[in-house]
């Protein structure tokens, strides 16, 4: 009986991994990130967030959404990232806290998935490394959604 009770006590600790299923897709952030909320992962101050909308948005709607300035961020520019022959527009924003925020939209099946990554530039030695990490994280998430 004690062993059964121990199994039930430990089950919640091992049954919830770092990945999360969203619309049949196993979503998980890059190595080193820890899931801290619903579709939200953190690694120190850096973060990854995924949101899904059951609608296939056009490129222009995605671009408008990821370049929208907020009370906490200013739009910098778009960059394009080619993955498997498809160009993805990535909106770069600067948070008022100094963070680099990269965002994009990915269409799959009946959904558009919005991916946002935030990078704390104070952790890195140059803005080039900050941008490289942001692009790695967002590219990883695009592939994660498309492949899994």
Gap between the Cα atoms of 145 and 58, Å rounded: 18
- At 94-127, the pLDDT tens digits run 999 999 999 999 999 999 999 999 999 999 999 9
- Can you give the pLDDT at residue 15? 37
* H or E segment to which residue 82 belongs: strand 73-83
Provide the mean pLDDT of the chain: 89
Percentage of the chain lying above the pLDDT 90 cut: 82
- At 67-87, the pLDDT tens digits run 999 999 999 999 999 988 999
pLDDT band at residue 1 under the 50/70/90 scheme: very low
Give buried/exposed letters for 4-42 (b at 16+ CB in 10 A, else e).
eeeeeeeeeeeeeeeebebeebebbbbeebebeeebbbb
Half-sphere exposure of residue 121: CA atoms within 13 angstroms, side-chain side = 15
Gap between the Cα atoms of 57 and 110, Å rounded: 10
Task: Please name which of 75, 67, 134, 145 lies closest in space to residue 106, comparing C-alpha atoms.
Answer: 145
């Amino acid at each position: 009986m004690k062993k059964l009770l121990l199994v039930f006590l430990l089950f919640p600790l091992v049954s919830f991994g770092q990945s999360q299923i969203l619309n049949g897709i196993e979503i998980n952030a890059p190595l080193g990130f820890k899931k801290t909320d619903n579709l939200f992962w953190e690694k120190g101050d850096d973060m990854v967030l995924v949101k899904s909308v059951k609608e296939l948005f056009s490129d222009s709607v995605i671009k408008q959404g990821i370049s929208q300035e907020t009370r906490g961020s200013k739009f910098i520019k778009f960059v394009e990232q080619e993955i498997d022959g498809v160009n993805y527009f990535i909106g770069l924003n600067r948070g008022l806290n100094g963070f680099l925020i990269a965002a994009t939209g990915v269409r799959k099946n009946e959904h558009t998935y919005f991916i946002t990554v935030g990078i704390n530039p104070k952790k890195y030695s140059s803005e080039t490394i900050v941008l490289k990490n942001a692009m790695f994280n967002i590219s990883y998430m695009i592939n994660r959604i498309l492949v899994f």
